Amino acid sequence: MFDSANLDHRLEKAAYRREEAKLRAALLNAQYDLKENGRFPVLILIAGVEGAGKGETVNLLNEWMDPRHIVTHAFPEPSDEERERPPLWRYWRALPPRGKIGVFFGAWHTQPIVDRVIGKLDEASYASDISDILKLEKMLSDEGVLLLKYWFHLSRRQQKERLKSLEKDPKTRWRVTDIEWDYFKMYNRFVKVCEPFLRSTSTGEAPWIVVPGADARYRAVTVGRHLLAAMRERLDEKPGARAPDKTPPLLATADNLNVLRALELDQPLERDTYQKELDLWQGRLNSLSRHPGMRGKSVVAVFEGNDAAGKGGAIRRITGALDARVYRNISVAAPTEEERAQPYLWRFWRHVPRHGQFAIFDRSWYGRVLVERVEKFCSEADWMRAYGEINDFEQSLAKNNVIVVKFWLAIGKDVQFKRFKLREKVAFKRFKITDEDWRNRKKWDAYEQAVCDMVDRTSTTAAPWTLVEANNKYHARIKVLKTLCASLEEALGAGKKVGKKKKA
Amino acid sequence: MFDSANLDHRLEKAAYRREEAKLRAALLNAQYDLKENGRFPVLILIAGVEGAGKGETVNLLNEWMDPRHIVTHAFPEPSDEERERPPLWRYWRALPPRGKIGVFFGAWHTQPIVDRVIGKLDEASYASDISDILKLEKMLSDEGVLLLKYWFHLSRRQQKERLKSLEKDPKTRWRVTDIEWDYFKMYNRFVKVCEPFLRSTSTGEAPWIVVPGADARYRAVTVGRHLLAAMRERLDEKPGARAPDKTPPLLATADNLNVLRALELDQPLERDTYQKELDLWQGRLNSLSRHPGMRGKSVVAVFEGNDAAGKGGAIRRITGALDARVYRNISVAAPTEEERAQPYLWRFWRHVPRHGQFAIFDRSWYGRVLVERVEKFCSEADWMRAYGEINDFEQSLAKNNVIVVKFWLAIGKDVQFKRFKLREKVAFKRFKITDEDWRNRKKWDAYEQAVCDMVDRTSTTAAPWTLVEANNKYHARIKVLKTLCASLEEALGAGKKVGKKKKA
């Protein structure tokens, strides 16, 4: 992989001058076309060995193009806000919006490689990290991100020479510390890890480009040419030319049975019993929210359901049990301009809570496979790939101390009709019923199919769906509270005794 | 101030029931009108003594209204990302956008009061905090925020009873810890601090509303009624009915002299000397950026200037000296939708850098008193109050370890003409010249007046303007670098020797 890069590539000054002027003009043009076009962002990953000109290249890109539309991010030690979220959170918050160029100085590949070299990461975890990276990059490409990955390389001899020459110059001496020399001593180990890493994370959509780093002019022109060609190619594509992935058809059930129809929607619960149960479970939830283990965990609760199924009421029975300081309601409506300029999941990632916090989603990322699918707001390819992306997202939450609970509140068509009518009558419920609700109702069967597919494809061990029979609101609310408590107890390793714990 | 609140106010259940139903419907209507109207946000501050029903009231508001358009924020211990910014940063990032209701559970008043009670804050700092609060709240009101401040009160006896009864109930026992009792012991001291505090921070636009907290029904109705009336009043106002502040006229100079005309724009500097100086100052800047003191400081550099004055070139001479990991370019263009829904300064607060970082603004918040003033994009009252708001903003940065440097790059009208013409010719500079630039040029005199006013009104000790004679680009770049280095040296207490320091 590095054979060609190990050669002593050079570019003479005169040739460089000629090419630089042209490259510069063309890159600037491409950048302005990107801004006009506004259909996709460019994300440039800068990786590779120390001393191979990564920083210099980033500065050069900022000099060649208009720095106003380039955002550079480096990723040093994570902040506490970042440490309390899944590792990918910090990259999501730094993604460039459509029409802009983002430069990531190091990214999601850095930690796995370093940890593998120093032996902190075993084979299996490393393999799982690589698989996560592949999924992430595939998702970004599918979302239209032009992902360009440059790996700056030096041969062992070149790196040694480079470090020595940096050390000799008083102006650059600071760049060479013991850490750089320690890494240099591990040169061969790095190569042994990096080579297969680059191979396994090079894909058709986002291959690694190995850049020989020894000669400043040569590496500048190499990156410049490649960047220009890649941007030009995408910019000159006709809109809609990118063929959507072939999507496997969803299995049609051969009978009339599905997970929703199998539910007994009417579940009796009397008002008196409800009140007692409500007290009991709200008390337990409250205790659990104050469990010491919650300091290292957070909760993401997703509410989906038929219109008028009682999502709001169920959510309020949860928040009513919690201190207002520990929860946030996220009501999912139309995305804002900043959200529309980002990959689909961006607007949910930004709400991932810190430790000790509950994020309660009234509708969620599942909109993609429900309303957007049924109303054809996105292409079939888009909602088909969403199942996998959503699973990856929730997996990443679950793996990183986020307790994920998901509820589908189901009511019958007749019950929905009665509730719609009632809402139209009661003054303070009137805001809850719109023409859209009546329109959605006409597509009942299409929604039912979408819900069943959703449950089949996204109910996972880490983030299972709970189907809630909601014709009786009392039953629904208690089931939601109970399920949430059970999930918390399991995650916190808290037995039922938690509710009875004495004041410390 | 608390006399009336100390009485045992009560509301009977039946009366409450009747009123609650009406309040609920009316509040919900108001909330929906707010959303439709979209012209202002509502910000509710919840403050006062422990046990007076603050949390319950917040829950109630979420229950009465549509929680999807209410965002509740509490402010526990600041995160490291927050600690590295001015204290107000965390409130700015939590502000509700227009059309929404934000509830702040504790806010900028909490710390000064507590610190004053426990004796951590001396008279002078406390007075300065109060003055900052007044300015902040005035700014919010001027920006159209409907600011409602509720102070929940209990008499000493009521608080004691309340804490005891919370302690008796196993479900609420957790709420009473030693801290609550410690605070209770300081009840009288709190009153002694809070009473004058409430008086001095009660203004016409944003008075404190003292809510008797002992009776749940009474306090709920009190807050509900007041909130409703306040929202209704603002919603029913005719657009444009709010009379802008009378603004004092700016002093016209009696002669032709002003700070710009007093500049000698032509400052010779030969290319050879420039190259040497550039090396020298870039080296020094680089050393300073790696000074250990920078771990506790950050830099905000503002670039304003005539079109074609060379802002971009000067900025690149700075970034060229810095590691790409420590700076961010913020190029100020039209605000996004999320930014437009916030007070003017919000979109700049969000870019305040963490410690060790440089934020370099290519154009800035000064757009308000330059282009927006000249082009009449905002009212005279808006840009007139901006001077004070900007000074407060920069003061808050400077007081909190941010080094603020501001450059105005000035060129002559003839030089501008030549540069415009040149830009039209050179391919890779063409993006830099638009019809707008030619239009702006026609308003040269109006801009000149605006710049002079800006410098007069916003050059402060904490954040002085540096006027840069920029007919000669070499001179301009060196002066910018020198000035930046001098500011850093002063702030870091670093002598000139810093450039020559040996490798540690």
Residue among A55, A286, A326 minimizing CB distance to B171? A286
Q: State the pLDDT at residue A428.
A: 62
Q: State the pLDDT at residue B240.
A: 66
A182 near B CB under 8 A: no
CATH code assigned to A271-499: 3.40.50.300
Tens digits of residue pLDDT in B448-491 = 999 999 998 899 888 999 999 999 999 999 999 999 999 999 99
Model confidence at B295: pLDDT above 60: yes
Residue among B173, B312, B503 minimizing CB distance to A503? B173
Q: State the pLDDT at residue A245.
A: 56
Q: State the pLDDT at residue B68.
A: 75
Fill in the DSSP letter of residue B105: E
Helices in A110-215 by DSSP H: which ranges? Answer: 110-117, 123-142, 156-168, 178-185, 187-200
Min Cα–Cα distance to chain A from B1, Å: 28
Residue among A21, A79, A333 minimizing CB distance to B81? A79
Distance CA B223, CA A23 (A): 65
Interchain proximity B62–A329, CB inside 8 Å: yes
- Contact between residue B93 and residue B85 where contact means Cβ atoms under 8 Å apart: no
Fill in the DSSP letter of residue A94: T
Model confidence at B245: pLDDT above 70: no
Q: What are phi and psi of A103, to 5 degrees?
A: -120, 120
Residue among B55, B68, B316 minimizing CB distance to A63? B316
Tens of pLDDT along chain A (504 residues) come to 787 777 888 889 999 999 999 999 999 999 999 998 889 999 999 999 888 999 889 989 988 888 778 888 989 889 989 999 999 999 999 999 999 999 999 999 999 999 999 899 998 999 989 999 999 999 999 999 999 999 999 999 999 999 999 889 877 787 788 888 888 998 999 888 998 899 889 888 888 999 999 999 999 999 999 999 999 999 998 876 665 555 555 555 666 778 888 899 999 999 999 999 999 999 999 999 999 999 999 999 999 999 999 999 999 899 888 887 789 889 898 898 889 999 999 999 999 999 999 999 999 999 999 999 999 999 888 898 899 899 999 999 999 999 999 999 999 999 999 999 998 887 666 667 888 888 889 999 999 999 999 998 899 888 999 999 999 999 999 999 999 999 999 999 976 554 444 443
Tens digits of residue pLDDT in B219-228 = 999 999 999 9
Chain B residue whose CA is closest to A284: B171
Q: What are phi and psi of A7, to 5 degrees?
A: -70, 160
* Mean pLDDT, chain B, whole residue set: 89
Residue for token digits 């169920």? A314
Q: Which of A69-78, B7-16, B249-258 has the lowest mean pLDDT?
A: B249-258
Interchain proximity B63–A24, CB inside 8 Å: no
For B239-272, give the secondary structure using H, E and C.
Answer: CCCCCCCCCCCCCCCCCCCCCCCCCCCCCCCCHH
Q: State the pLDDT at residue A249.
A: 53
Q: State the pLDDT at residue A232.
A: 95
Interchain proximity B320–A67, CB inside 8 Å: no
Residue among B28, B62, B170 minimizing CB distance to A319? B62
* B427 contact residues in A (CB cutoff 8 A): 25
Q: State the pLDDT at residue B499.
A: 45
Chain B residue whose CA is closest to A20: B428
B329 near A CB under 8 A: yes
Residue among B103, B316, B323 minimizing CB distance to A55? B323
B38 near A CB under 8 A: no
Are B3-236 and B271-500 the same fold in CATH?
Answer: yes
A185 near B CB under 8 A: no
Min Cα–Cα distance to chain A from B403, Å: 21
Q: What share of chain B is helix, strand, coil (3-state, %, to 5)?
A: 55, 10, 35
Chain A residue whose CA is closest to B54: A324
Chain B residue whose CA is closest to A76: B325
Min Cα–Cα distance to chain A from B309, Å: 16
Percent of chain B at pLDDT above 90? 63
B110 near A CB under 8 A: no
What are the residues facing B47 on neighbouring strands? B151
Q: State the pLDDT at residue B10.
A: 87
What are the residues facing A468 on neighbouring strands? A409
Interchain proximity A62–B319, CB inside 8 Å: yes
Tens digits of residue pLDDT in B381-420 = 889 889 989 999 999 999 999 999 999 999 999 999 999 9
Residue B496 pLDDT level (bands cut at 50, 70, 90): low
Chain A residue whose CA is closest to B178: A504
Fill in the DSSP letter of residue A503: P
Distance CA B491, CA B358 (A): 14
Which of B46, B69, B428 to substitute to test the interface with A, most A CBs within 10 Å? Answer: B428
Interchain proximity B316–A503, CB inside 8 Å: no
Interchain proximity B28–A315, CB inside 8 Å: no
Mean pLDDT score, B8-28: 91
Q: Does domain B271-500 have CATH number 3.30.230.10?
A: no
Sign of CA dihedral A195, A200, A204, A206: negative
- What are the b/e assignments for B376-387, b being 16+ CB within 10 Å? eebeeebbbbbb
Residue B55 pLDDT level (bands cut at 50, 70, 90): confident
| Entry pTM | 0.80
A36 near B CB under 8 A: no
Q: State the pLDDT at residue A208.
A: 92
For chain A, the structural domain boundaries read 3-236, 271-499
Min Cα–Cα distance to chain A from B426, Å: 9
A503 near B CB under 8 A: yes
* A316 contact residues in B (CB cutoff 8 A): 62-63, 67
Min Cα–Cα distance to chain A from B322, Å: 9
Min Cα–Cα distance to chain A from B177, Å: 9
A316 near B CB under 8 A: yes
Q: What are phi and psi of A57, to 5 degrees?
A: -65, -40
Min Cα–Cα distance to chain B from A247, Å: 35
A375 near B CB under 8 A: no
**H/E element, A304:** strand A298-305
Q: State the pLDDT at residue A501.
A: 44
Q: How far is CA B125 from CA A332, B130, B412, in A?
A: 43, 9, 45
B290 near A CB under 8 A: yes
Min Cα–Cα distance to chain A from B244, Å: 31
Topology of domain A3-236, per CATH? Rossmann fold (3.40.50)
Distance CA A323, CA B53 (A): 12
Min Cα–Cα distance to chain B from A70, Å: 8
Q: State the pLDDT at residue A257.
A: 75
